[in-house]
Structure 1
Amino acid sequence: MNKVFKTASAYFIIILLTTLPARGQQSSNENLGILSLDDCITVAQDQSAVANAARYALIASRWQYKSFKADLLPSLSLSGDAPNYNKSIFSNVLDNGQVTFSSRTQSEAEAELSINQNILPTGGTLSLSSGLTRLGIFNGENTYLWQSTPLVVGINQPLFQYNNLKWRNRVEPLQYKIAQKEYVEEMEDIAQTVTQSFFDVYLAKINLENAEFNVARNDSIYQISQGRYNVGSIAENDLLQSELALRNAESDLTNAQIDYDRLLNEFKILLGYPTDVQLDLEAPEELPEISVNIDKARQLALQNNSESLNYRLNEMQADRQLDQAKSEASFGLSLNAQYGLNQTSTDFADLYNNPQNRQFFSLGFEVPIFNWGKQRAQINAARNQQREVANSIQFQRRQFMQQVEYTVSQFLQLRGQVLLAAKADTIAQRRYQVAQNRYLIGKIDITNLYIAQDEKDSARQAYIRALRTFWTGWYELRQLTLYDFQYNRPITYDL
C-alpha cells in the first residue's frame, strides 16, 4: 500500500507540474470551448510559430524576386564628390632640365546624374548621363574652371560571353514559384501535424473516458462479486479476479489522466496557445466521399509540388553551369562606346553654349591560347555534372511518382477501413452490453465479461486510429498535389 501511495503521489505531482503555467508566462485561463479538427487546423495555420516562420520565408523570397525584377528596369543614380581641398608641394622639371618645386592649392567638386538600363537579351548595359565639374585654383587671385557634360550616351556590351542576366531571368521566377509552393505545402504540413496530434489527444480522451467507465463498472462488479462470494455462489478466485481488475482499472485511470494532460498541453502549444487555456475537442465529423483519379493526381503533383519544381530548377542550374563554362573557355569581346557633348568655361553662364563632341570607343578582347587544358577540363566537368543531375533527377522523379501513386491508392482504401472499424466498434460495444447483462444474471463467468470489456476498449481505440490514418492520409494527398479533390480546386493561402 505504501508503494501504491508513493506512485499515486508522484503521478499527482507530475499532473500538477504539467498544468501549472511557466514562470513569466501570463495566465489567461481563457475557455476556448469545443474545437473541431477544422477549427484547430485554422488556428495553427493562423498563429502557430511554424506558420509564422513559413510566412516570413515567403515574404523574404517575395522581396528577393522584387529585387531581381528591379534589375530589369531603368535605375537612376546620383554620384559625385563634395568639394575636396588639396594644398601640396610638387616637383616640376623645366625645359632646361632643372627641377624646381612649386606649390598648389586647389579644390574640385563634381556631380553626375545617370540612368542605366540592363539589356536582357545581350547582357549589356545602356546608360544616359549628365555631369558637372568645378575646379578651383587658389594662387593669388582665385580662379574657377567649369566643365559640363550635358548628355552622354554609353553602352557596355560583352560579346560571346556568359549572360548572367538572361539565366537569372529563367531561374528567379522559378525560385519564387517554388517558394510559393513551399509555403502552401508548409500550411498543409501544419494541417497534417495538427491532425495527428488532434487524434492523439482525442484517443487519450477516449482512453480516459473508458478508464473512468471501467473503474465505475469494475467497482460495481466487485461489489456484486463480494455479495455472491458471501452467499457462496462464486469461488474466492473469482472474487480476487474482480478485485484485481478494479485495482488495475484504477491504475489505468491514473495513467490515462497523465497521458491526456500531457498530450493536451503539447497540443495547446502546437496551436500557439498557453497551456492554461481551457479547450475540448469535438468528435470527428463524418467522412466525406472523395474521389481521386491517380493520373490527375500525378499530373497535379508534377505541376504543383515544390519537389517536382526543384527537379526543373536543378536541371536549369546544371545547364547554366555548362553554358558558363563554355563561354569562359571561348573567344570573348567587350565593347565600350560613348558619345555625347562637353564644354569648359571660366564662366558658369557660358558653360552650355556651343558644346563640343565627346566620343569614346574601345573594343577589348581575350583569346585563350594555352592553359594546359583548363577550359576543356572545366567544360567536361560541367557537362558530366549536367548528365549526373539529369540521371539523378530521372530516378528521383520516378520515386516521387511512385510515392504519389501509393498515397492515392492507400487513401482510396482508407475510408472503407474506417467504416469497417466503426462497425467493429458498434459490435464490440453491443457485445459488452450483452456480456454484462448475462453476467448479472449469472449466465457467463467474470473472465468472459472482462474479455468483452477489453475488446470493447480495443475496438474503440482501433476506430479512432482508423480515423487518424484517414485524415492524415487526406492531408498528405493535399500536400503532395496542392489540390483539394473534395471541392475540385487548387489549394491557396494568403499572407
Structure 2
Amino acid sequence: MNRYLTTFFVYLTLSLSFFLGDLNAQQSSEEDLGSLTLEQCITIAQDQSAVANAARYALISSKWQYRSYRADLLPSLSLSGDAPNYNKSIFSNVLDNGQITFSSRTQSEASASLSINQNILPTGGNLSLSTGITRLGIFSNENTYLWQSTPMVVGISQPLFQFNNLKWRSRMEPLQYEIAQKEYVEEMEDIAMTVTQRFFDVYLAKINLENAEFNVARNDSIYQISQGRYNVGSIAENDLLQSELALRNAESSLTSAKIEYERVLNEFKILLGYPTDVELDLEPPQELPEIDVDIVKARQLALENNSEALNYRLSEIQADRNLAQAKSEASLGLTLNANYGLNQTSKDFSDLYRDPENRQFVTLGFEVPIFNWGKQRAQINAARNQQQQVANSIDFQRRQFIQQIDYTVSQFLQLRGQVLLAAQADTIAQRRYQVAQNRYLIGKIDITNLYIAQDEKDSARQAYIRELRTFWTGWFELRGLTLYNFEDDEPIAYDYE
C-alpha cells in the first residue's frame, strides 16, 4: 500500500512540475517583448504611457468646454416652480375706526412654469417664451382655491451700449479649442521626441556594453601575449604593466557599462508604460529617409498650425476684449426689458384658460457713471497700454519663433549628411583597429598605438550613434513645430477617443 501511495505522489509531483513549468514558460513569453523598432516604441508610448493619457484627458476636457459654449448658443428649456408650501401666521389688521386687530391666516401656494430661452449672439440679449400656472389655497371654515395662469409670455432682455461677452466668446472659444487640439498633437510629437532620445540613450549604452565586453576579451588576450613576450625578453616591463593596466581598466569599464545599461533600459521601460521586469531589446533604424524641407513652407505651416502661434492670436483678442470691456463700463449703460403675454385667474380650473387678458410691461433701466475719481479713465488707459504691451511682446515672440523655425529647418537639412559622415568614420575606425591589432600581433607597432586605435574605434561608434540620435530628434522636433509630416506630405493627426 505504501508503495502505491509513493508512486502516486511521484506522478503527482511530476505532473505539477510539468504544469508549473509550462505556466512559467507561458508567463515568460508574455513578459518578453522581443526586439522593438523606434517606430514601435513611439507607438507604444503614445498609446499607453501616463503622459499620453494625461494629454488625452486634457483634450477631452477642452472638447466638453467647447460643447458647453456651443450649448449657450442654442435654445434652452427649463422647468421651475415652487412645491406646495404651507403658511400659518398672525397678521395685524387696521379697522375703519383705527382700531388694530389681529387675525389668523392659513394658506398654501404652488406654482410651475416652463420656459424656452435663446441667447442673441449679435446683440448679447436674451429672448424667452414661457408659460406657467399658480394655485393659491386659503384654509378657513371653508377652503378656497384660486388659480392663475399665464398661457404665453414672450419676453426680451436687451443690453444697450454694453459689453457683449457672448460675442467675444464666439471669437475666443473656437480658437481655444483649436489650440487644445494642436497642443495634443504637439504633446504626441513631444512624446515621440522623448522616446527617440531615450531610445538612442539605451542603444548607446548597449553599444558601450558590447564594446566593454569586446575590450575585456581583447585586452585579456593582449595581456597574455605581453606576458609571453616579456618572458622571452622581447618587450620591457613597462609594456607589460601597460597591458595589465588596460585590462583592469577595461574590466572596470565593463562593470560601469552594465550598471548604466540596466539603469537607462529600466527608465525606458517605465517611459513606455511597462514594468522593469519585462524583456526588451532595441532594433536601430536601418535607413535614413531623404527628406527635403522648404523653409518658406515650414514657416507658413508653423504659423498656421503651431499652438504657440495660435496663442499669439488669442492674446491679441483677449487684449482687445479687455479694452472693449473697459470702454463699455465707462460709458452709458442701458437695459431694455419687454414682455407681452396673456394671463387669467379663476376659482375653477376649467375656466382658467378662457378669454385670457393681455399682460405686458416694458422697463428701461440705465446706469450712468457720474463721478468716481477717474476710475473708468484709469481702467481704459490701463487696458489700452496693456493692449500695446501685448502687441509689442507678441511681435517680438513671433520673430523669435520664425527664427527658431528657420534654424531648425536649416540644421535638419544638414543632419543626414552628418550621419553619413559619422558612419564612414565608424567604418574607418573599425577597420583601422583590425589593422592595428594585426600589426601588433606581428610586432610592427607598439602597444600604445594599439590602444589608441581601440579608443578611436569606440569613440567613432559612439559618435555615429549620437549623430543618429540628433537626426531623429531633429526630425520629430521639426514635426512638432509644423505639425506636418514632410516625408508623407500630409498634416499630422492623432485619434484621442
Q: Deviations over 1:221-264 (max 9, x none)?
A: 11111111111111111111111111110000000000000000
Task: Report the secondary structure of 1:96's partner residue.
Answer: coil
Q: CA deviation at 1:285?
A: 2.3
Equivalent residue, structure 1, for 2:169: 168
Instruction: Indicate the residue corresponding to 1:433 in structure 2.
Output: 434
Alignment of 1:273-292 (within 5 A): 273-292=274-293
1:328 aligns with 2:340: no
> Which residue in 1 is equivalent to 2:468?
467
Equivalent residue for 2:94?
Answer: 93
How far apart, in 2, do the equivalents of 1:359 and 1:440 lie? 112
Aligned residues: 470
**Are 2:152 and 1:127 equivalent residues in the alignment?**
no
Matched residue, 1:272: 273
CA contact 1:29–1:278 (8 Å) conserved in 2: no
- One-letter code aligned to 1:300: L
Which amino acid is the alignment partner of residue 401 of structure 2?
Answer: F
Cα deviations by residue, 1:407-435 (Å, 9 ceiling, x for unpaired): 11111111111111000000000000000
CA shift in 2, pair 1:84/1:487, >3 Å: same
Q: Aligned partner of 2:475: which letter?
A: W
Tell me the distance in 2 between the aligned counterparts of 1:422 and 1:232: 41
Report the Cα distance in structure 2 between the residues aligned to 1:283 and 1:355, rounded to whole angstroms: 84
- Quote the Cα distance in structure 2 between the aligned partners of 1:427 and 1:359: 96
SS class of match (1:151): strand
- Amino acid aligned to 1:173: P
| Aligned match of 2:85 | 84
Q: Given the two structures, how large is their TM-score scaled by the length of structure 2?
A: 0.94
Q: Deviations over 1:374-407 (max 9, x none)?
A: 1111111111110000000000100111111111
Question: 2: CA distance between counterparts of 1:379 and 1:97?
Answer: 60
The whole-number CA distance in structure 1 between the counterparts of 2:223 and 2:369 is 97
- Matched with 1:449 is 450
Tell which deviates more after alignment, 409-418 or 27-36.
27-36
- Report the counterpart of residue 232 of structure 1 in structure 2: 233
- Structure 1 segment 219-258 matched on structure 2, within 5 A: 219-258=220-259
Structure 2 CA distance for aligned equivalents of residues 246 and 325 of structure 1: 78
Amino acid at match of 2:484: Y
CA drift of 1:29 comes to 6.7
1:27–1:276 contact (8 Å) kept in structure 2: no
Which stretches of structure 1, 4 residues or longer, exceed 2 Å deviation after superposition? 26-29
- Computed over aligned residues only, the root mean square deviation of the Cα atoms, in angstroms, reads 1.1
Kindly indicate whether the alpha-carbon contact (under 8 Å) linking 1:149 and 1:341 is maintained by their aligned counterparts in 2.
yes
How much has 1:284 moved relative to structure 2?
2.3
Residue equivalent to 2:191: 190
Structure 1 residue 27 displacement after superposition: 10
Distance 1:452 1:370 in 2: 87
Contact in 2 for aligned 1:77/1:113 (Cα 8 Å): yes
Q: Name the aligned partner's letter for residue 448 of structure 2.
A: T
Secondary structure class of the residue paired with 1:358: strand
Contact 1:84 1:108 in 2 (8 A): yes
Q: What runs of 5+ residues in structure 2 fail to find an aligned partner? A: 1-26
Secondary structure of the structure 2 residue equivalent to 1:139: coil
Does the CA-based 8 Å contact 1:28-1:277 persist in structure 2?
Answer: no
Q: Report the CA distance shift for 1:162/1:408 in structure 2 as closer, same or farther (over 3 A).
A: same
* Map of 1:379 onto structure 2: 380
What is the match of residue 365 of structure 1? Answer: 366
CA contact (8 A) 1:167 1:320 kept: yes
User: Which position in structure 1 is the counterpart of 2:22?
Assistant: none
* Alpha-carbon distance in structure 1 between the residues aligned to 2:468 and 2:326: 55
SS in 2 for 1:116: strand
Decide whether the 8 Å contact of 1:29 with 1:276 is kept in 2: no
Match for residue 304 of structure 1?
305
Q: Tell me the distance in 2 between the aligned counterparts of 1:345 and 1:28.
A: 83
Q: For 1:258-287, what per-residue CA distance to the aligned partner results, in whole angstroms no more than 9, with x for missing partners?
A: 000000000000000000000000022211
| 1:30 matched residue in structure 2 | 31
SS in 1 for 2:113: strand
Structure 1 residues 387, 28: CA separation in 2 closer, same or farther (over 3 Å shift)? farther
Distance in 1 separating the partners of 2:182 and 2:29: 36
Counterpart position of 1:179? 180
Q: Which residue does 2:495 correspond to in 1?
A: 494
Residue 56 of structure 2 corresponds to residue 59 of structure 1:
no
Question: Normalized against structure 1, the TM-score is what?
Answer: 0.94
**Equivalent residue letter for 1:59:** I
In structure 1, how many angstroms separate the alpha carbons of the residues matched to 2:94 and 2:185?
75
In 2, distance between residues paired with 1:464 and 1:193?
16
**Partner amino acid, structure 2, of 1:412:** L
Per-residue deviation, residues 276-320 of structure 1 (Å, max 9, x unmatched): 000000022211100001111110110000011000000000000
Alignment partner, residue 10 of structure 1 = none
Partner of 2:351: 350
Q: Deviations over 1:191-240 (max 9, x none)?
A: 00000000000000000000000001111111111111111111111111
What is the rounded CA distance, in whole Å, between the counterparts of 2:100 and 2:301 in structure 1? 84
TM-fit CA distance, 1:464: 0.2
Question: How far does the alpha carbon of each residue in 1:145-171 deviate from its partner, in whole angstroms, 9 at most, with x for none?
Answer: 000000000000000100000000000
Q: What is the rounded CA distance, in whole Å, between the counterparts of 1:137 and 1:211 in structure 2?
A: 99
Identity of aligned residues (%): 84
